Amino acid sequence: MSEPLERQTRDGPILQASGLVKDYWMGPSRLRVLQGVSLSVRRGEFLCVLGPSGSGKSTLLHLLGLLDRPTEGRVVFEGQDAFDQPKRWRDRMRNEAIGFVFQFYYLMPDLTVLGNTLLPAMVRTSALSWPFVRRRYRGQALEVLKDLGLGERVGHLPKELSGGERQRAAIARALVHGPRLLFADEPTGNLDSATGAEIMKVLARLNHKGGLTVVMVTHDERIARQADRVLHLQDGRLLHGA
């Protein structure tokens, strides 16, 4: 921590978590989902957190992805303690530096594939400046969609796509703004094995060719084997050192 921030940011891990604890309260009783998880994610790494259902994988992902606040512990993203920063900073990081892919895609049902892909750009752009940047963002989105094999489906609504196409659309939405870190929460959990394998190929390609850092959680060991490093999570604890 005594290294200069700039060097730490450039050379150090992109994400560090230390002593993460997450409690949920159900009336008077406390449910401790994470019990002091510490890990570190290197730039360009494909990290997989493997664990059975209910082990706290998704909760860990939400904390690492700055979607939720830990009860205890720290998350350091690119050298900044995320929960010491104002909420606005975390919102900005999610919009500009982080991408999410969920098991159930979570596409906006009323927007087309292109509209969903443009959504992160729309979140950070005002209505006044949108007409001037729309063409650029649209070009980027179409490029990403074409790259993911959805070039012919840009005008379709999510309900008109297959499961694999929906997940690819979700990946396109997560990639269009050029994130430095991609979180994938059981990205193949809702797909058949062939489609799941196809999605994993996409993620692997993005990691190997694009140098994108990927953090994925899954309960499927076969899927996890495709990652550079696998961490086992059980009952809210990591079984092997981070």
Partner 1 sequence: MEQSWIATPWVVVALIGAGLVALGLVALVLTTSVYKHVICAKYLFSGWKAVVPLVSAMPAALGVFLLILVFAIMDGFAQDTREVTRGTLADIIVDAHFEGLPYYDDFAARIEKIDGVEVATPVIQTFAMIRVKPRFPAVRATVQPCLLIGIRPGEKTQVGRFQQYLERQQVPENEPWKAALFPADQLLTVPPAVVEARREAGLPDRPGTIVGKGLVSYPAKEIKPEKVDLRAVVILAWSVVGLLVLGVAAIGYRALRRYSRTTSAAGLAALYLLVVPAIGVVLLAAQGLALVTGDAEGPTLSWPTWTAAGVLAVGWAAAAIFVFLGRERRFFWLRPVGFMHLLGCAAALLAFWSSGLRYGPHEVAREQVVDNPVVPYGGEIVVSTIPISAKGAIETEVGGVPRVNARALAIVDYFKSGFWENDASHVYVDFSVAQGLAGMAGRPAAGPDEPAVPARASQIQVKIRDPSKSATIVERIRDAWRRFVAERPDAAGMVSVNTWETQQKTILGVVEMEKNITALMLGLMFLGFGVLIALISYVMAYIKSRDVGILKALGARDVGVGSLFLGYGFIVGLLGTAAGLVGSLLMLHYLDPIEVWVNQTLHTDVFPRTTYYFEHIPRHLSAAWCVGVSLSVLALSTLASLAGGLLAAIKQPVETLRNE
Identify residues 198-227 at the interface with partner 1 (CB under 8 A). none
62 binds partner 1 (CB under 8 A): yes
Q: Is 163 left (phi over 0), alpha (psi -120 to 50) or beta?
A: alpha
Distance CA 47, CA 226 (A): 9
* Residue from 8, 42, 80, 119 in contact with partner 1 (CB under 8 A): 119
The distance of closest approach from Cβ of residue 130 to partner 1 in the complex, given in angstroms and rounded to an integer, is 4
135 binds partner 1 (CB under 8 A): no
3-state secondary structure of 115: helix
Beta bridge partners of 229: 47
The distance of closest approach from Cβ of residue 33 to partner 1 in the complex, given in angstroms and rounded to an integer, is 11
Binding region for partner 1 (CB under 8 A) out of 38-46, 93-101, 203-211, 230-238? 93-101
Terminal Cα distance for the chain, rounded: 18
> Phi, psi at residue 174, to the nearest 5°?
-75, -20
* Residue from 23, 108, 146, 234 in contact with partner 1 (CB under 8 A): 108
Size of the site for partner 1 (CB under 8 A): 41
Residue 60 CA, chain-centre distance (Å), reads: 11
* Residue from 88, 135, 209, 240 in contact with partner 1 (CB under 8 A): 88
Distance CA 137, CA 146 (A): 14
96 binds partner 1 (CB under 8 A): yes
Question: What is the DSSP pairing of strand 15-26 with strand 72-77?
Answer: antiparallel
Q: Which residue has the tokens 């895609």?
A: 105
Binding mask 154-193 for partner 1 (x = CB under 8 A): -x-x---------------x-----------xx--x----
3-state secondary structure of 49: strand
Tell me whether residue 26 or residue 128 sits nearer to partner 1 (CB atom).
Answer: 128
Instruction: Give Cβ neighbours of residue 62 (< 8 Å, ≥ 6 apart).
Output: 68
Interface ranges with partner 1 (CB under 8 A): 58-59, 62, 65, 67-68, 87-88, 91-96, 100, 102-104, 106-108, 110-112, 115, 119-120, 122-128, 130, 155, 157, 173, 185-186, 189
